[in-house]
Amino acid sequence: MSEEREPPPLPGAAQTVFPEPQDAEDLFVSAASAMESPEAACLSAEDISPSSNGPRDDDPDDLFAEATEEVSLDSPERQPILSDGPSPAITPVTPVMISPRVDVFDRSPDQDEDEEENRDTFDIQISVSDPEKVGDGMNAYMVYKVTTKTSLSIFSRDEVCVKRRFSDFLGLYSKLASKYMHMGYIVPPAPEKSIVGMTKVKVGKEDLSSVEFVEKRRSALERYLLRTVKHPALLKDPDVLQFLESSELPRAVSTQALSGAGILRMVNKAADAVNKMTIKMNESDAWFEEKQQQFENLDVQLRKLHASVESLVCHRKELSVNTASFAKSAAMLGNSEDHTALSRALSQLAEVEEKIDQLHQDQSYADFYLISELLGDYVRLITAVKGVFDQRMKAWAKWQDAQVMLQRKREAEAKLQYANKPDKLQQATDEIREEIEEWEGKVQQGERDFEQISKNIRREVGRFEKDRVKDFRVVIIKYLESLVHTQQQLIKYWEAFLPEAKAIA
Amino acid sequence: MMLLAVNVDLQTDATLQVDISDALSERDKVKFTVHTKSTLPNFKQNEFSVVRQHEEFIWLHDSFVENEEYAGYIIPPAPPRPDFDASREKLQKLGEGEGSMTKEEFTKMKQELEAEYLAIFKKTVAMHEVFLCRVAAHPVLRKDLNFHVFLEYNQDLSVRGKNKKERLEDFFKNVVKSADGVLVAGVKDVDDFFEHEKTFLLEYHNRVKEASAKSDRKIRSHKNAADDINRIASTLYTLGTQDSTDLCKFFLKVSELFEKTRKIEARVAADEDLKLADLLKYYLRESQAAKDLLYRRGRALVDYENANKALDKARAKNKDVLQAETTQQVCCQKFEKISESAKQELIDFKTRRVAAFRKNLVELAELELKHAKGNLQLLQSCLGVLKGDT
């Protein structure tokens, strides 16, 4: 690796690295000399100074000066986080870590703008439709038709139709999360499993609740796909493309709740939770602290709102049922009333109430599909956002741990000075030197990763908030329009009834 | 105070006008101020007021029912007992839960519960008033001595509520009465008018009961939905104050809108309660009173027929004929007296019923329209602002 030593490429923004060679040179020289002559086990003061190990947010010069060693991005620790799919295509827009470092640091702010413009000409329509039951009994499952219509060039055809089942969607999410979440990307979560709901469908109950369940799921899957492709990086991901285009998809077995992978996931989640409690991060960037607090507050309020809206949906359904029931009783009363005009008016009242009950039912669907589901989606999305902040904490912790290890190795090296076994000394010194080099590399990588994920998160959060504003605006306006329609209908019905009531003589 | 949902076309002439001018809710009782204006010579003054409690109204009603002279009239149904228990319980729960909600939420909920309490209070006053007005409007009942005492005697009538023994007695009396009622109803009437009325009232009463129960449930769901909208408005307000994006203004505006629309929804439920539910409840009680009249007439008919049979037997045996004749005459008179007034009562009942339904259905439709239009206007103006902002 020492042969390929070349100065680190310049990031677009950080132009100030080289113009200030003074400080950089010292460290550069000492580090370089340390590498060239492993025998010279004397460490200059600067190397083990605390300043070279801690977070260097305020001193970008030294950051890059230390990075004399090229750490290959194909190092073993990278592998586990790669997906099991084929390696992604390398395009200038895709900030995938597997590509050479050049791309990673080439992401200038200008490119961010370009991306936004591309999104305005975003041309892809996805629909999930035609749920079909396949198989019988407990092995049965629903298959959905996924239709993609697009003019984007990354797709092989203008219009593609494929058949997918629920676990395919879960599998897609699983792959995307494992690829992108650790980089700070907000990956839209897939809809939740529902054992109760699915069992009813499997058992073959053709009643209203299973029909509603399938429709709810279909709609949720559609929203999930739309959100996924709205993300510029995810849209170009080969797993996504394969999901949308290829007629056959390998069955995602690891999504079963009680499978080995499922249990591993649960264990990991628990471990993460414990880790989160023990990591105390020195937050030097107020933006992150502020944003985390904001998302925390948003989470609390959205959950509260969601609960109230769910209650409203329930009560409106109840109102619809009770109105229908009242309508019937009013009709019966009208029948037994022996004053003809009053009898007729009561029958008319019954008809009005029947129409109103249908109105309430329609309104409750709007309550649900527009507002309640949106809120549910956002509660899950915010969990993903919080997850991404956690990933940043993990990256920070990893970086800190690497620094601690480096420190230990350096101390061990210093100790070797005082060991009095000259014949073993050379070998031990060589070993420790290698280890120090290794950990220096890891520290640099850790810092780079931390910087990168922080940058990504800033960008992602910006994008997320923009989408959130748009989503809520659109949905709330649609919802208010549905309320307007309901009132207009009510006016129509009561205006028709009033003369009937007045006609009672 | 004038929530006279069913008090239509009652001939309130100058000779006797009764109303409840004030009411006070104390711990577990309500004190009604009964105000009378009369030109009748029976009263010492032309205008006077007394304070009465619910038990005294019941005493008056029961005295009518027990009076044989009034057997041929539909006795105006007694007003239901004032029931603030549910409302008080809610207020208490609110007080206990004060710590777990924000100050705004607490104040809002308190205001609503207080409004609910006030609405129940107004309703109970109205129902007691309707009872008195019905009595005052009735050509015979208005002359009743107990009624005058009720109106004028400015001391406590010392009417205590029934004790356990008396209540048990009442219960058994009712059981016997309904069993007897079934027997009596089974007797076919020669008079077509009454036969028709019997069938009609039986079915009508049951249907009104159904409709009344269903309308109560419907209105409760409506209130629940309005409560949900209230909570949604509060949460939207909090979101609006916290949000760092452009959405903050959006949320605040929508929160404001929902505050207003849910007030309207609550009014719709309240008006439906007043115009529809209360109407049905009242006619449930009145139709029962009409059924009671038919029962008394039926009873008198059976007694009359039995007396006839007894007379025939006595004549045949030539024993106690005079006594049998007297009994038969008494029964005959009683029966004919009841029949005569009952016919008129039932006709009046129909007239009153039709008028009350007409008034209430018209008012219901008008109020529904008013609220829907108000709602629509709020929604459209808010939409205009929100769409313009984007």
Q: Which H or E element spans position A160?
A: strand A159-165
Residue A489: closest CA among chain B residues belongs to which residue?
B372
Mean pLDDT value across residues A369-387: 92
Q: Which of B223, B246, B357 to mutate to test the interface with A (most CBs of A within 10 A)?
A: B357
CA angle, B223 then B226 then B227, to 5°: 90
A339 CB neighbours in chain B (<8 A) are: 350, 353-354
pLDDT digits (tens, 9 = 90+) for A149-159: 988 888 888 89
Chain A residues whose beta carbon lies within 8 Å of the beta carbon of residue B362:
498, 501-502
For A242-256, A476-490, B197-211, B358-372, which range has the lowest pLDDT when averaged over its residues?
A: A242-256
Residue A32 or B101, more confident = B101
Query: Residues of B with CB below 8 A from A480's CB?
Result: 254, 257, 379, 382-383, 386
CB distance B282 to B163 below 8 Å: no
Tally: H helices and E strands in chain B? 9, 3
Nearest to A242 by CA among A300, A295, A172: A172
Amino acid symbol at B180: D
Pairing of strands B47-53, B16-25: unpaired
**Contact by Cβ (8 Å): A401, A275:** no
pLDDT of residue A208: 77
Chain A residues within an 8 Å CB radius of B361:
345, 349, 501, 504
Mark yes or no for CB contact A322/B231 under 8 Å: no
Chain B residues with beta carbon closer than 8 angstroms to that of A463:
none
**In this complex, do B379 and A487 lie within 8 Å of one another by their Cβ atoms?**
yes
Confidence at residue A22, expressed as pLDDT on a 0 to 100 scale: 42
Q: How many CB atoms lie within 10 A of CB A487?
A: 22
Integer Cα distance of B146 and B106 in angstroms? 48
User: pLDDT tens digit string along B349-370?
Assistant: 999 999 999 999 999 999 999 9
pLDDT digits (tens, 9 = 90+) for B87-130: 888 888 888 877 777 787 788 888 888 888 888 888 899 999 99
What is the per-residue pLDDT for A105? 38
Interface mutation target, options A296, A385, A490, A502, chain B, most CBs of B under 10 Å? A490
Chain A nearest C-alpha distance from B54 (Å): 31
Q: What is the DSSP letter of A47?
A: T
Closest CB from B242, B379, B382 relative to A301:
B242
Confidence category of residue A362, pLDDT binned at 50, 70, 90 = very high
Judged by CB atoms closer than 8 Å, whether chains meet at A495 and B369 is answered as yes
Q: What is the pLDDT of residues A166-184, one digit of tens each?
A: 989 999 999 999 899 888 8
Q: Is B279 on the interface with A (CB under 8 A)?
A: no
pLDDT score at B171: 79
List of chain B residues whose C-beta atoms are within 8 Å of the C-beta of residue A319: 218, 221-222, 224-225
Nearest to A435 by CA among A458, A406, A415: A406
Residues of B in contact with A297 (CB under 8 A): 242
Question: How far apart are alpha carbons B47 and B43 in whole angstroms?
Answer: 9
Q: Do A469 and B247 touch (CB under 8 A)?
A: yes
For residue A153, what pLDDT is reported? 82
pLDDT along chain B (390 residues), means of 10: 44 78 85 91 88 93 93 94 84 81 80 84 91 93 93 80 76 78 74 90 95 95 92 92 88 94 92 92 95 91 90 89 90 92 94 94 96 96 85
Q: Identify the pLDDT of residue A271.
A: 66
Enumerate residues 143 to 182 of chain B having a beta carbon within 8 A of any beta carbon in chain A: none
Best mean pLDDT range from A96-110, A454-468, B317-331: A454-468
